[in-house]
Amino acid sequence: MTQKALFITSNAGIEHDELIKPLEFLKSKGIESIHAAIEQKEVQTVKGDQEFGPKYTPQTSLAHVDPNDYDLLVIAGGTVNADLLRLDPHAVKIIQHFTDHAKPIAAICHAPWVLINAERIKDKNLTSYKSIRLDLENAGANWVDEVVHRCNTGGWVLITSRNPDDIPDFNAAILKELDTI
């Protein structure tokens, strides 16, 4: 059976490489990878949170996702993306479903911010973009400065990385995790 990865984003401010590079990487390895956004309309990517990147059309909306259909959740970064996702009730419910069912989540850059609103960050060891470190620590996480970090505290796996420079290691960690499922 083909493994399936779910990528979730908002419709604005998604860090281009943090969505597209892991998505294309997993597809190249035979992993069915689906992109769902808050709304099923074009998503605007950015580069470095400041320059517009290409637009992409997601395959579905978060409201139409059945988390039972997926083996792994990937949350792309981008400051605006993470801020919008953390306020979306469908995104929060998807994250809670993955953690409640011990399915792995991979989050890069600002994406761990979303876990705060899903109330799934306490006691997790993780890394992220440095500007959200204090937010994560105040929510009960233990922050580390590493290229990629894997944590299984609380009975579910969280894979995190800091920024687009870490994508090759982030991708490798996701693939390694899928090999264990």
What tokens appear for 148 in the block? 């990629």
DSSP state of 141: -
CB–CB of 6/59 below 8 Å? no
CA–centroid distance for 145 within its chain: 18
Query: Are the CB atoms for 55 and 44 separated by under 8 Å?
Result: yes
CA distance linking residue 147 with residue 130, whole number of Å:
12
Q: Is 133 helix (H, G, I), strand (E, B) or coil?
A: helix
Q: Which of 35, 64, 101, 109 is catalytic?
A: 109
Catalytic residue chosen out of the listed positions 35, 64, 97, 110: 110
Single out the residue of 98, 76, 97 nearest to residue 85, CA to CA. 76
Count the Cβ atoms, other than its own, within 10 Å of residue 179.
9
151 carries an active-site annotation: no
Q: Annotated active-site positions, please?
A: 109-110
